[in-house]
Amino acid sequence: MKLVIDRSKWYRGRGGADSRLERSDGQMCCLGFFGVACGVAPEHLKGIAYPRLPSVAHRSGDAKWPGWLFEEVDGLRSHLGLNDNRTRLAKLNDSVVGADERERAIAAIFAEHGVEVVFVDSAEEP
C-alpha cells in the first residue's frame, strides 16, 4: 500500500491538543491521511483524535483500520493502549522535532507494516 501525505494539509509538530485525524480546517495528522487511504468514512475522521479501538470501531461502523495499529510494541502492555502503533505515530506526528526526523520516523513505522509513505507538497504528483 502507498500512503501519500500532502505537507500543505498535514497538521504536525504543534502538540496534540488541537491535532485530529481531520480538523475543521481540513488539515489532518498522519493517521488521518492513513484513514482516508484505508477507506475510513469522513464522518469517522472529522474531530476525532485517534483511530478507535477495534471493539468500538466495529460498533460505530469505522472498522477499516488495520489491526497492526492497535498492537502493543516492544513487549509492553497497556490496558489503555498507550504503547501501540497508533500512539507511537500520533506522538511522532505531534512532537516538536525536525521535519526530516519526523518524516523518517513516521515512514519507518508504516514501512514495518508494508505501507510505503510518500511526502509531497500539494503541487507535486506522488
Residue 6 pLDDT: 97
Name the nearest CA neighbour of 70 among 31, 102, 22, 25. Answer: 31
Q: Say if residue 71's pLDDT is above 80.
A: no
Domain enclosing residue 61, as ranges: 10-98
Provide the whole-model pTM: 0.85
Asked if residue 103 is part of any domain, the answer here is no
Beta strands in 1-126 (DSSP E): 2-6, 116-120
Examine residue 24 and state whether it is found in any structural domain, yes or no.
yes
Evaluate if residue 80 carries a pLDDT over 60. Answer: no
* 125 domain residue, yes or no: no
In a domain, 111, yes or no: no
Task: Assess if residue 121 is contained within a domain.
Answer: no
What is the tally of structural domains in the chain? Answer: 1
Domain-located, residue 89: yes
34 is a domain residue:
yes
Q: Among 10-19, 38-47, 80-89, which stretch is predicted with the lowest mean pLDDT?
A: 80-89
Q: How far apart are the first and last CA of the chain?
A: 13
Asked whether residue 119 is assigned to any structural domain, the reply reads no
- CA 33 – CA 65 distance, rounded (Å): 12
